[in-house]
Structure 1
Amino acid sequence: MTIGTPTRTGTDNGTGTGVGTRTPRPGARIRAARRTACAAALLLAVSAVPTSAVAATAEPSHVEGQLPSGATYLMDVPANWNGTVLLYSHGYTQAGTPNPAQNGPDTATKALLLAEGYALIGSSYASTGWAVTDAVPDQLATLSVFDDRFGAARRTLAWGRSYGGLVTTAIAERHADRIDGSLSLCGLVHGGVANWNNTLDPVFALKTLLAPDSDVPLTGLADQAAATSAADALVTVVDSAQSTAEGRARIALAAALHNIPVWNQPTQTRPAADDWEAQQVNQYDAVKGLLKVAAFNRRQEAEVRAGGNMSWNTGVDYAKLLGQSSVSKKVRELYKKAGLSLKADLATLDRAPRISADPDAVAWMSGTSSFTGELTKPQFSVHTIGDALVPVQTESALRRAVTAAGSGSLLRQANVDNAGHCTFSPAEQLAALHTLEERVTTGRWRGTDAESLNSLAAEADSTTPARYVPYRPTPYLRPYDLAHPADGR
């Protein structure tokens, strides 16, 4: 198998900076030699494996079915199957919406992978919402069905996007014997407890500073109707506050506590570094999106699974968190412009009644959805830097856990210069997969820098953007992992 496909020519597809026709970069010959060596290693590996383990099919196979759990599965195996199966874990599916099986992130990426000879498999999960306790066993069961039908793969790579990145990381930590490596794209790699703590902080600030007399519940939501009502009420408050300089400054403070980037949708204009007002307008849209999507409706569903509230802000120093935020300077500038005292507002947050967690709910979320950082197989984790829903700082939380667990040599991370959640091009996703597969094949990480990844992306698909950049996220503001015992306090 060849890592990457021959370079093609193309034009901008309208999703970002066009790649177009490319000429070889200075390191192209070196990377070509690496791919040749990798292919040779794969050929030797194939010759050492019984032929039944790499079942070639006369025709492409498309298989759909149902697992005993009720989840459905989907498999696509090309006639020229290269012996690698990609186990794809999809993102969060809202209750009451269609929940089909998925075996890839998008049609274009799947087509490229099938053309390269990969087998693609994945399930729907037996339930929607915060479904990790269904998702992990359903994904492993799908892999077993594949093995029974097509023969054991020579190599299995688990990958997933968004919530599927959490599912993939859970598989990587707890079922490493079933896979050879893992790839998380825009994943919730900070884990469940950290996610819900960090989601609580901005809504706590909004309610405390903009609607202190409101009875809007932030946790303990009775049902989805109550969650929708609470979200709508706080969105109305935020909309009203946006009309004043004081309100805009306070919305910016809330956004900073979630590390919401100032460019977070591809449709937005990327603001200048000192255009505080334009930056705040972009964050305002993202704050409303957070309220409508995660802070209430998804929280309510997760609380039902956990058996109570799994997040808290008791003991949190919001002045300290703001100081660590990636967008703290903008907050100070907007407060100054509004003639408002940031110190006074932070003191108001300190005095406000705090929210305690249900210990049993924390234990459930921790046991099912938090990570030890103990990797035994290589993991590659990639994020867009302009992600408001799952901020890029989650990658810092993953690195923190893996480093504490002594698994740092097995983890590599990279970042894409684009706004939005999971807004990767097909080229960028293939480059990440090829990089992971080379690490599995050779036992060494090579080419995880931005230049190498962009070259791999261009070779895989020159018609879509390649936007990897050198980038180091700031620390995650509310980390929680099982490698740090103090996080449980």
Structure 2
Amino acid sequence: MNDLTSLRLLALSGAVFLVACGGGDDTVAPPAPEEARAQDSRTFTPADPTGATFTALANGSPETDGASRYAGVLNGAAYRVEVPAAWNGKLVMYAHGYAGTGSALGVQNPSIRRHLLQNGYAWAASSYSKNYYDVRAGVEDTNALALEFNKITAAAGRPLAVPTKTYITGHSMGGHITAAAIEDEAYTTANHKVKYHGAVPMCGVVGDTELFDYLAAAQVTAQALAGVPKYPIGGWADIKASVTANLFSTFTASTAVPTANGQKYALVMQNLTGGPRPLFDLGFGGPYTGVVWGTFGGDGTVNGIFNKASADTNRFTYTIDGDTAGSTALNDAALKLTAATDFNRLRRDGLRWVPKVNGEFKIPVVSLHTLGDMYVPFSMEQIYRRRVEAKGNGAWLVQRAIRGAAHCDFTVQEQVAAFDAMVAWEGGGAKPAGDDVLTPATVADTTYGCTFTNNTLGTDESAAVNASRATIAAARPCP
């Protein structure tokens, strides 16, 4: 019996078993239900409940124009499936990122949709049955859709063989879903079980709940440096204006210019997000510092995903480079937060509320992360590497640093290269090249991230990438 199975049995030990005597019939009472949380009472509806089909790819080709497209609703989640005419037998599951707290559920197409179809891959994507930061729903609904693939196509008049390979990829929260879905724990505890053959998590929360710790640390250090160190984090609205004015001379939707005191905060944030590295300054001065600011003031339950506080700042040592006395004073002053010990425990009704990324997998994984990301910082990749190495699985993980200044602002070519590298590796090719994410001197080198950055822009780039890549390349050129 493995450790995880033992833990699941222990989780079941709270059940009361009643045996009725006489007649030889044993009656076993079901276990008590798991406790409810705010997320469980929320109602969500697919934005397109009729399941109308979606449109063909713009500026298409014979491979994309001839694809079969299917849309519908499965277990309360909307979905899209697309299969090229010359299908290669492989299926790619796409997991979208955080979609906010609204009640409408929407499906997002993969950013490499054109590449997938032109190369024979089918793809499928779920809206998930719930919004908010519900990674549990994301894993279950993505897995359920993968298992339903053949029924969906057959019902539409195109019966297909079972996929020979199933891969998974996703952005941001979808990167968390991707990384969690391939874990041994997820396969053991999920209600819908899928064995994936390879994965590409992009800008992912691959440190799972440690992201919440980082966001809390970003808040308590801002408060401390601005002179309100012990103010409760839930009272952020009361002090937001004064803290912002203390640390920034300009703070808009697109620009954050630090004051002299704010420069100290920038150094703290640099070390919280992965250490000195190229493009940190562009990321800190850009719009995602404001996005991070917008996460402050929560009660630690991640908007009702948990019932208890999840953020913990006790492990952090805050550093203002070149200022030993200031660093000591900051660590003494900053509010310390401690998470409830069981806020994200194993459950007997399926996955944890926020599934773990433990580093327990033995399939090819190629991850991407931009260096300037403040929202889901590059430090997530460092946490991921340490966890995977601790489990003895480091040989299965390749990580690539990209010279982008914001969250998930990859070019399509960078994403295609990572996907193709993973598939070739999974198919028996050599392990692809990646970046060292742990050695400080390597990460701090001015050329770090140049190897896998590709500033070539194509038809399907996001507006953010189109607007920023040329500027970034000119400001921080690679040799």
The verdict on a shared fold, with TM-score over 0.5 as the criterion, is yes
Q: Identify, as 1 or 2, the structure richer in helix.
A: 1
**1:190 aligned residue:** 207
Describe the shift of the 1:286–1:249 C-alpha distance in structure 2 as closer, same or farther (beyond 3 A). same
* Partner residue in 2 for 1:96: 102
> What percent of counterpart residues are identical?
24
Match of 2:376 in 1: 390
Alpha-carbon distance, 1:386 to partner = 1.6
- CA shift digits 1:439-486 (9 cap, x unpaired): 11115314557898679x989999998999xxxxxxxxxxxxxxxxxx
**Is 1:295 the equivalent of 2:296?**
yes
Q: CA deviation at 1:162?
A: 0.7
User: Are residues 1:403 and 2:385 paired?
Assistant: no
Other structure's SS at 2:296 match: helix
Q: Distance in 2 between matches of 1:248 and 1:447?
A: 38
Partner Cα distance (2:401, 2:341) in 1: 35
Deviation of 1:140 (Å): 0.8
CA distance in 2, matches of 1:85, 1:281: 35
What is the CA distance between 1:426 and its match in structure 2? Answer: 1.0
Of 222, 228, 233, the residue aligned with 1:212 is 228
CA distance in 2, matches of 1:246, 1:426: 38
Q: Structure 1 residues 64, 261: closer, same or farther in 2, change over 3 A?
A: farther
Is the contact made by 2:246 and 2:259 (CA closer than 8 Å) also made in structure 1? no
2:46: which partner in 1? none
Aligned residue number for residue 217 of structure 2: 201
Q: Which residue of 1 aligns with 2:179?
A: 169
The equivalent residue for 2:30 is none
Please tell me whether the aligned partners of residues 204 and 369 of structure 2 are also in contact (alpha carbons under 8 angstroms). Answer: yes
Gaps of 5+ in 1: 1-55, 222-228, 265-269, 272-278, 323-327, 336-341, 469-489
1:438 matched to which residue of 2?
424
Question: Which residue of 1 is the match for residue 71 of structure 2?
Answer: 64
Alignment of 1:40-189 (within 5 A): 59-68=66-75, 70-96=76-102, 98-105=104-111, 109-148=112-151, 149=153, 150-173=160-183, 174-175=186-187, 177-189=194-206
Aligned residues of 2:165 and 2:196 also touching (Cα < 8 A): yes
CA distance change for structure 1 residues 358 and 438 in 2, over 3 Å: closer, same or farther?
A: same
SS of match in other structure, 2:410:
coil
Residue 413 of structure 1 aligns with an amino acid whose one-letter code is: Q
In structure 2, distance between residues paired with 1:447 and 1:392: 18
TM-aligned CA deviation for residue 394 of structure 1: 1.3
Q: Given that residues 422 and 432 in structure 2 are in contact (C-alpha distance below 8 angstroms), is that contact kept between their aligned partners in structure 1?
A: no
- Contact in 2 for aligned 1:385/1:418 (Cα 8 Å): yes
Equivalence for 2:412: 426
- Three-state SS of the structure 2 residue aligned to 1:347 is helix
Is this contact kept in 2: 1:303–1:361, CA < 8 A?
Answer: no
Native 8 Å contact 1:303 1:310 kept in 2 = no
Which amino acid is 2:178 matched to?
T
Deviations 1:349-399 (A, max 9, x none): 325552222222153697733222111211111111221111112111111
Q: More deviation in 183-192 or 361-370?
A: 361-370
| Structure with the larger RCO, 1 or 2 (CA within 8 Å, 6+ apart) | 1
Tell me, yes or no, if the aligned pair for 2:80 and 2:126 is still in contact at 8 Å.
Answer: yes
1:303-382 alignment, distance < 5 Å: 304-314=304-314, 316=315, 318=317, 321-322=318-319, 329=321, 332=322, 343-344=325-326, 346-363=328-345, 368-382=354-368
Number of aligned positions between the proteins:
365
- Offset at residue 75 of structure 1 (A): 0.8
Q: Return the TM-score normalized by structure 1.
A: 0.65
Shift of 1:119: 1.0
Q: Which residue of 1 aligns with 2:7?
A: none
Distance 1:311 1:92 in 2: 19
Amino acid at match of 1:184: P
Which shows bigger deviation, 366-375 or 421-430? Answer: 366-375
Q: Work out whether residues 262 and 283 of structure 1, in 8 Å CA contact, stay in contact via their aligned partners in 2.
A: no
Which residue number corresponds to residue 274 of structure 1? none
Evaluate the alpha carbon distance shift between residue 412 and residue 96 of structure 1 in structure 2; reply closer, same or farther with a 3 A threshold: same
